[in-house]
Structure 1
Amino acid sequence: MPVALALLPDFLLILLGQALRRWLHLGDHFWTGLEKLVYFVLFPALLFNALARADLAWTTAAPLVATAAGAMIVGMLLGGLARWLFPPSMLSPVSFASQFQCAFRFNSYIGLAVAAKLHGGAGIAAMGLVTGAMVPLANFAAVGMLARHGGVSLWRELAKNPLVLATLAGLLWNMLGLGLPAPLAQFLGRLAEAAIALGLLAVGAALRLRGAPGGGHGTAAWFLAVKLLAVPLAAIGIARFFGLSGPYFDIALAFAALPTASSAYILAQRMGGDGASVAWLISAGTLAAMLTLPLWLGLVRG
C-alpha cells in the first residue's frame, strides 16, 4: 500500500526512539530535555515557518477547522459514554476523568510528520492551522473533566502553549503579507528539518505498556476504538458534508486518526489523576495507529 510505505519511515523513527531509550540508557534527563527542545523550540519554528509562508485558501480552511472540531466533539461524546458503560466499581471517577481525554486529544508531532509526507509544506501549514485551532478545545474538555482533582488554570496553559503561540504568530505574519528575510527563512528551515525526526524519537521514547489501565482492558479498548476508529469515521462524514477534497480532506482525516499525545499524561499527573492508565492508553494507541492511520488514508486515497 503506497500510503503505508510512505509513512513507514516515520513509524520506524518512533520505534527507534523506544529502542534507543532501552539500549543506550541515556537517562530520563536526556529524554526530558529532548522533549522540551522539540516542544518549545523546534516545533514552534516548524509551525511558524510553514504558516508564515503558506498560501492558505481561507474559504477552504474554515470548513477544515470545522471538520476537525466536529470530529473531536464526536470523540468527546463517545468517550463520555464510558461513564455509563462501565460502573464506578470497575472504572473509578478519577480514572474515567483521566482516560476521557484519550478519546479526542491528538499527537501534533505525528500529525505534522504525516502532513509533511503527504503534502509537503502546504500540508504542514494546514495541519499546523488545525492543531493550533484545536488545542484550546481539547484543553477545555480535558481540564474541565479533571478540574475537580486539581487546580490547573486553563487560560494560563493556553497563554504559554508554544504551539498555539507559534500558530497565531505565523497566521498573523501571513495575513499581514510580510516576507521572511533569507537568513531568517534558512534559520527556521534548519530548525524545522530537525523537528520532525527528533519529535518522533521523543514519541517513541515515551511509550510505556506496563501493567493494565484503570477499568481493565475493556475500558481501554473502548477509548482506543473511539479515538482510532469512530473519530476518523466521523471526520470522513463531516468532511464530505462540507465538500472538502484534495489535501484538506487528507489533513482532516489524518488529524482525526492521530493517537493521543503525551500531554494528556502530563495533565493527568499535574491534576492528581490516573497518570499510569493514561500512559498505557497513549502507548497502546500510538502503536495501534501505526496500522490504523495508513489504513484510513489508504482507504480514501485509493
Structure 2
Amino acid sequence: MFLGRAPLDILQSVIPVFLVVAIGVVLRRYRFLDEGFIDAANSLVYYILLPALLFHEIGGTDFRQSFNGPLVVGGYAATLATFLLAFLTARALGLGPSETGAFVQGSFRANLAYVGLPIVFNAVGPGGLRKAGIFLGLIVPLLNGLSIVALMAPHRAGKGEGIGTTASRIARQIATNPIILACLAGIAWSVLKLPFPGMIDRTFRILTPATLPVALLCLGGSFSFARARKGFAVAALAAFLKGIVLTGTGIALYRWMGVSGEDLRIGAIMLGCPTAVVTYVMAARLRGDTDLAGTIVIVSTAASAVTITGWLFALRASGW
C-alpha cells in the first residue's frame, strides 16, 4: 500500500501549497504584487475571507463529530513542552534578551491559518478543514499568550517603561482576534444546530474559495530576504525545534491518547506548520530581534515543506 500511489498522494497534498507560496515570492520580486496590494490583501484575508471560511465550515458541521479533545490537549502539551525547552536552549547558547525572545517565539508559534489549513484541505478534505478550524480557534490564544511571555520575559530585569501598556494592547488584540471570534461563533452555531439560509449559504460558497490561494500568495509576497541576514544557525535550530521536536512530541502524545487516522494527520500537519510571519511583527513590538525573527520564518518555511511531507510519509508507513 505504502509503495503504491501513497507517496504521490502525499506530495500532491503538501508541495502545491508551497509552490503557491513560491509564486507569491516571484510575483513580489517582479513587482506584480507590491507592498500596498499585499497589505490590503492580507487585511482582506485576515478580517473577512478567513473568518468567513472558518465560520461557514465549522458552523455547517456537527460539532460533536468534528471536535477532538485529545487533538487539542496534545497540541497544548507539545507546545508548552517545546516553549520551555526553547528557553533552556537559549540560555545554554548564551543568547541575549532580544535574540532569546525571537528564538523562543519562532520555536513554537505556527502559521496555522495560511499554511496549515490549505495543507489539511488538500490532504483530508472539507471535513478535515472543519476539524483543523476548531483546533486553530482553541490553540491560537495559547500561542499568542506564550509569544508575549517569550518576548517580554528575557527583558524582565530592565522593566522598560511602556512594556505593560504594550502587553495590555496585544492582550486586547487577542480577545478581538477575528479568526478566533469566527471559530468560536462557528462552534456556537454548530452546537445550536442553526441552519444557514439558502441565500447566505450560497454567498459564503462564492466568497470563501478565494481565501486559501490569496492567503498563500500574500504569505510568499510578505517574505523579506533582506531582513533574513543573520543568525542562520540559530534560526535552523529554531526550525528544528518547531518542525521536528514539537511535531514529534505531539504525535507521540496523540498516539498515547489513541488518536489515529485522519485526526492524527490533521494534528501532525497543524503542529508541523512553519513559524508564522506575524512573529516578526511581534518581535518588532516587544523588543525582539527582528532580523533573527525574519530568518527563522524563511528557514522554517523552507524546511517545513520537507518535514511535513516526511511526517505524513512516516504516519502512512506506520499504518497510523
Distance 1:181 1:23, change over 3 A: same
Q: Distance in 2 between matches of 1:123 and 1:189?
A: 17
Give per-residue Cα distances to partners, 1:22-63, cap 9 Å, x unaligned.
Answer: 012542111111111111111101110110012334696111
Output the TM-score relative to the length of structure 1.
0.93
Q: Which amino acid aligns with 1:141?
A: L
Q: Distance in 1 between matches of 2:286 and 2:207?
A: 33
1:24 is paired with a residue whose SS is coil
Structure 2: gaps of 5 or more residues: 1-6
What are the within-5 Å matches in structure 2 for residues 33-72 of structure 1? Answer: 33-57=40-64, 61-72=68-79
User: 1:171 corresponds to which residue?
Assistant: 187
Distance 1:102 1:4, change over 3 A: same
User: 1:254 corresponds to which residue?
Assistant: 269
User: 2:196 corresponds to which residue?
Assistant: 180
2:30 is paired with a residue whose SS is helix
User: 1:112 corresponds to which residue?
Assistant: 117
Q: Distance in 2 between matches of 1:211 and 1:21?
A: 15
Q: CA deviation at 1:6?
A: 2.4
Give per-residue Cα distances to partners, 1:246-294, cap 9 Å, x unaligned.
Answer: 2111111111110011111111112232222111111111111111111
Q: 1:11 aligns with which of 8, 11, 18?
A: 18
1:288 aligns with 2:303: yes
Q: 1:131 aligns with which of 117, 136, 146?
A: 136
Q: CA deviation at 1:5?
A: 2.1
Contact preservation (8 Å) 2:118, 2:212: yes
Q: Which amino acid aligns with 1:297?
A: L
User: 1:93 corresponds to which residue?
Assistant: 97
Contact preservation (8 Å) 2:247, 2:268: yes
User: 2:3 corresponds to which residue?
Assistant: none
Distance 1:34 1:60, change over 3 A: closer
Contact preservation (8 Å) 1:132, 1:167: yes
Contact preservation (8 Å) 1:60, 1:244: no
Contact preservation (8 Å) 2:52, 2:204: yes
1:209 is paired with a residue whose SS is coil
Q: Distance in 1 between matches of 2:131 and 2:244?
A: 22
Q: Distance in 2 between matches of 1:143 and 1:271?
A: 8
Q: CA deviation at 1:242?
A: 0.9
Distance 1:44 1:85, change over 3 A: same
Q: Distance in 2 between matches of 1:253 and 1:19?
A: 29
1:209 aligns with 2:225: yes
User: 1:145 corresponds to which residue?
Assistant: 150
2:167 is paired with a residue whose SS is coil
Q: Which amino acid aligns with 1:252?
A: G
User: 1:231 corresponds to which residue?
Assistant: 246
Distance 1:298 1:57, change over 3 A: farther
Structure 1: gaps of 5 or more residues: none
Q: Which moved more, 1:130-139 or 1:145-154?
A: 145-154
Contact preservation (8 Å) 2:283, 2:293: yes
Q: Distance in 2 between matches of 1:99 and 1:84?
A: 11
Q: Distance in 1 between matches of 2:198 and 2:212?
A: 22
Q: 1:190 aligns with which of 206, 210, 217?
A: 206
Q: Distance in 1 between matches of 2:88 and 2:207?
A: 42
Q: Distance in 1 between matches of 2:312 and 2:258?
A: 17
Q: CA deviation at 1:212?
A: 5.3
Q: Distance in 2 between matches of 1:3 and 1:171?
A: 30
Q: Distance in 1 between matches of 2:171 and 2:225?
A: 32
Q: CA deviation at 1:8?
A: 2.3
1:291 is paired with a residue whose SS is helix
Q: Which amino acid aligns with 1:257?
A: G
Output the TM-score relative to the length of structure 2.
0.88
1:244 is paired with a residue whose SS is coil
